[in-house]
Structure 1
């Protein structure tokens, strides 16, 4: 298996070169191989997986064959299209959304029939704007099955490790089912048995590996993709970057790669597929597209520097028109690790929407619905000009749900308090004083929330009024699963910042993933997918996995087109119409 650029000859020809080994890029490389193409996968960092490896791995694809398994019989292409029309509107091309909806189920079926990648649908996983017509409660969100990393042998070390703060016991990955079992192991024999199996497996793993080999969520997806690429003998070059591409009469004809001082010019027959992860860490574009957002708040993988975007723009590729936002968002908290690196923890669903939690600004006032989607939460912080915001709870809330990197149970608080990640106060006034926020405002916000918790009605922000919000609350809490009182001292808070979790603005493409120039003409042989592609969601976030779902689908379309193009002797013009 080729792993070094030195193993490839100068001028060697490939049908497809994929730049970026995140979820979209690895899928494109795999689809190319499935189509019989000679494929090369290039990754700038030392790991494969990109930000997908950090994520839950959820892939939003309406009407796949998995939907029937969870009883989603009432969904349809037209229903999903109507939902996206309402959620996205004119912020993106309806034709591209249609291409996604028509081809997404085909992409899921193709990759499962021809590789080790396996998905399942959650029995209950609502769309994020669940009060819109056309939304569903189940069937559209697919998750990867757990994967045994031991199957990869030495290549297990290539998988980007998950965010350490999302693991337990020295690198053991857990998904939402595992968390429920671990929290309920003293209450249920089934949960106890499940937890013991996890703990035994982790103990055995740590005798042989640096972390657990039972992979779930995004790590499971990336591992299954890597195994599949290995089985099809697709070369993967890490720590290798695209320096330039060369155009000719037939479009992109060559690519120049470099790896640790060595350069190679390779011929490309079908095309170069960009999947480098977006613009987020490109210094100039970040300033222009995400003004005022510190890069330290970005929880994404480090490889999306936008360097590949400079190359693509050099041959005429252009960005799409901005939609609701140039990025996708989540509130994050940050903490310096023992090794000096910065932990950036995204607050998706584990704390902020639970009972007994409120988020306030410098005046101690609530300014948004804490149970809304993480994307809208991040946008809400920016609209309100709040950074940091303060996520506040009491002793009961901390014990039941945890607070960011602080685990549920209320134990081991000392290091978090000592380094300032967690702030404690014997009273609300004392907490406000330590945070430097208005005490009377905080006390009033808590008083109002306590009243809403008793009535079940949030008169300020209507928290807990949609299926999505209630799903992320606490079903045992009445009368509203998202509203609870704060009253048991001491009180606690952490600071939240708006963190960009992915790029929404990227290169304009057609429905096959081909990049477009300033005249809206196709650039033959240059494709963009994943976060390099301008999002078909128009900067909105309608459901779980709305980056990975289109990433998979347009990987399928782009790789299929590029593989076909590689077979055409003279790159017949019909393929470029």
Structure 2
């Protein structure tokens, strides 16, 4: 089969890694095609929080530097990493951020604490985020960008930015006015309401991808949807293009200078989960777009001799599931990343025992679930147990606070399947089949910790990251509140994920390596299609998207330099 068309660069996958690879390659003068198997573009990134972890970013007043970042990372990364690839990330991430900023994208610093606040040189200025984006600026592509999940909307309709999310999820002072403004903004947008129920206001990950694709399209990059990668095309040991399928039609597209795999991880492929993960979990508990990331890019790379790394871990996040509104036969996944650490609650395994600082970073919560499952066999799922005080104020995944979803409004088929309720801890334990004595002791301990403000078991609420998701009105520790007001509740918490940490092994130039650590000519990988530069560590908010965008940028620079007969920029130097 001969190629029907040719581009300088073919990018597989339309998430943040693919968007930046395409934008940078086009800016360097190359013709670019992005292929996306879904009928909407934006990938997992469009449904995310849209945060980038970029240390030493120079986008705000800061004394951060490379040495401080290495001091921090050196204390929190416990597994093997490729040091030259990590160095390349630290050197090129700030240049990538400047490039994005120079494109006119409003990228700025978010005051989000690094996830290990007790570690040396932890900070709260390494995460970046973009302002909201006006969706109709994408023109005909507006309805074709992947939409945010209901968990990032109010009533599945009104988009929230980060500050609105925190205001509403904690019922902070002024939260009612925040909601009224969102409501008014949506319903007075008459032009958009005539077109679609979708909010024209893109926030979080949707904002990031909206801004990126506005610039991508302005550069003349082509985007092809419903176009699935079947395999890589090779000639003489070099990757020369892709074979794709579109509604049953199979054809080839040639790539003069490189193919960049940015097709996400393999979290929706149960067979690959069983092959690689020590505790596989279920694909349906993933919080990424349903059935999207099935490892096609990974499998295509393996077929041409690529090596892999870090495939034994996911970007973990606790999740829970509830029936879809107005379609009770179908379930939707809700992230419970911050819910599990709110006061007046405790997370226990099926023995009724705690196993983690519940307010820790969501990836570490997941790691603790995995470790506890391997140790006891009584986790995945675990249980979030809480009382009426929690229920009144906080969300529990898809269960909204009582002011928005009183018990009488919870559908009858949810009770004792998705959410459990009882008038005593002992009765609740019986319902969820957890030893009553153990659960009662655990809750009693938590009540004593709430009184003293000190958690001697796991140190919950003892650092700035934990406290960010607590309740400032709860004293003396905002993360510890007594669990003593009936009725008592429990919801099952799944081992969910934001994708996989491992994938194809790539070098400091984002070139995919074979099993002898030799670059496979013409093949690059970025995002979750490649192994994380941090190994099994999640250093801070945006620890997935930051490297994804950076190595998309790095790949484009290397391809452009080779195509234009220039010496590629050394791994430790940033391209202008």
Aligned-partner SS, 2:340: coil
For the Cα contact (< 8 Å) 2:561–2:568, is it kept in 1? Answer: no
Aligned to 2:483: 486
Measured at CA, do residues 129 and 427 of structure 1 come closer, stay the same or move farther in structure 2, by a change above 3 Å?
Answer: same
Instruction: State whether structure 2 residue 186 is matched by structure 1 residue 197.
Output: no
Does the 8 Å contact 1:330/1:347 carry over to 2? Answer: yes
Q: 1:218 to 1:42 in 2, by over 3 A?
A: same
Q: Partners of 2:117 and 2:173 in 1: how far apart?
A: 32
1:151 and 2:137 correspond: yes
For 2:376, the equivalent position in structure 1 comes to none
| Correspondence list, 1:202-351, <5 A | 202-203=186-187, 204=189, 205-249=192-236, 251-290=238-277, 291-301=279-289, 302-320=291-309, 325-337=312-324, 338-339=326-327, 340-349=329-338, 351=339
1:563 lines up with 2:563 in the alignment: no
Distance in 1, matches of 2:357 and 2:366, equals: 11
448-457 or 290-299, which deviates more: 290-299
Q: Of the candidates 423, 432, 447, which is equivalent to residue 450 of structure 1?
A: 447
2:116 to 129, 138, 142: 129
* Alignment partners' CA distance in 1, 2:488 and 2:93: 47
Q: 1:169 to 1:277 in 2, by over 3 A?
A: same
Q: Report if the CA contact (8 A) 2:53-2:127 is conserved.
A: yes
Alpha carbons of 1:574 and 1:492: their partners in 2 closer, same or farther (altered >3 Å)? closer
Contact 1:416 1:422 in 2 (8 A): no
| 2:528 aligned residue (528, 531, 546) | 531
Please list the CA deviations of residues 95-114 of structure 1 after superposition, one character each: whole Å capped at 9, or x if unmatched.
11111111111001112212
Residue number in structure 2 paired with 1:164: 150
Unaligned ranges ≥5, structure 2: 374-378, 572-576
1:522 aligned onto 2:511:
no
Tell me, in whole angstroms, the C-alpha distance in 2 between the residues paired with 1:573 and 1:336.
Answer: 52
| Distance in 1, Cα, partners of 2:542 & 2:22 | 20
1:37 to 5, 30, 35: 30
Q: Is 1:412 aligned with 2:406?
A: yes
- Which of 99, 103, 125 pairs up with 1:110? 99
Is residue 278–residue 304 contact of structure 1 (8 Å, CA) maintained in 2?
yes
In 2, Cα distance between equivalents of 1:362 and 1:242: 42
Among 79, 82, 97, the residue aligned to 1:93: 82
Q: Say if 1:319 and 1:507, in contact at 8 Å, map to a contact too.
A: yes
Q: How does 1:496-511 map to 2 (within 5 A)?
A: 496-511=493-508
Matching residue of 2:387: 394
Contact 2:381 2:494 in 1 (8 A): yes
Q: Contact conserved, 2:100 with 2:107, CA < 8 A, in 1?
A: no
For residues 79-124 of structure 1, the C-alpha deviation after alignment (integer angstroms, 9 at most, x for no partner) is 011211221155211211111111111001112212x5322212x3
- Take 2:270 and 2:506, find their aligned partners in 1: how far apart are those partners? 24
**In structure 2, distance between residues paired with 1:186 and 1:526:** 49
User: How far off its partner does 1:575 sit?
Assistant: 10
Report deviation, 1:146. 0.5
Gaps of 5+ in 1: 1-8
Query: Are the aligned partners of 1:527 and 1:558 in contact in 2 as well (CA < 8 Å)?
Result: yes
Question: How far apart are residue 167 of structure 1 and its match?
Answer: 1.3
Hey, what's the Cα distance between the residues in 2 that align with 1:207 and 1:180? 30
* Higher deviation after alignment, 278-287 or 390-399: 278-287
SS in 1 for 2:252: strand
Single out whichever of 98-107 and 438-447 deviates more from structure 2.
438-447
Corresponding residue to 2:9 among 12, 16, 25: 16
Instruction: After superposition, give the CA deviation of every residue in 1:511-556 in whole Å (9 maximum; x if it has no partner).
Output: 0100000111111110010001111111111111111000111111
Give the 3 Å change call, closer, same or farther, for CA 111–397 of structure 1 in structure 2.
same
CA distance in 1, matches of 2:521, 2:173: 61
Any conservation in 1 of the 2:151–2:335 contact (CA below 8 Å)? no
Match of 2:63 in 1: 74
Cα contact 2:270–2:282 (8 A) shared by 1: no
**SS of the residue 1:91 aligns to:** coil
CA deviation vs aligned residue, 1:47-73 (integer Å, no higher than 9, x gap): 1122112210110001113232xxxx2
> Is the aligned partner of 1:57 residue 2:50?
yes
Cα distance in structure 2, aligned partners of 1:248 and 1:199: 57
User: What TM-score, normalized by structure 2, do the two folds share?
Assistant: 0.91
Evaluate the alpha carbon distance shift between residue 384 and residue 575 of structure 1 in structure 2; reply closer, same or farther with a 3 A threshold.
Answer: closer
Specify the SS of the correspondent of 1:335: strand
The TM-score normalised by the length of structure 1 is 0.91
Distance 1:282 1:421 in 2: 25
Q: What is the distance in 2 between the residues matched to 1:141 and 1:515?
A: 27
- CA separation in 2, counterparts of 1:218 and 1:485? 35
Conserved? CA contact 2:237–2:520, under 8 Å: no
Verify the 8 A CA contact 1:184 1:192 in the aligned structure 2. no
CA contact (8 A) 1:42 1:240 kept: yes
Other structure's SS at 1:418 match = coil
- Partner deviation per Cα, 1:192-226 (whole Å, 9 max, x = no partner): 65443321121134443222111110111111122
Equivalent residue number for residue 362 of structure 2: 374
Displacement of 1:265 after TM fit? 2.2
SS at match of 1:272: strand
- Work out the number of aligned pairs and report it: 554
Distance 2:313 2:169 in 1: 38
**Cα contact 1:318–1:516 (8 A) shared by 2:** yes
1:109–1:128 CA distance, 2 compared to 1 (3 A): same
Provide the alpha-carbon RMSD of the alignment: 2.3
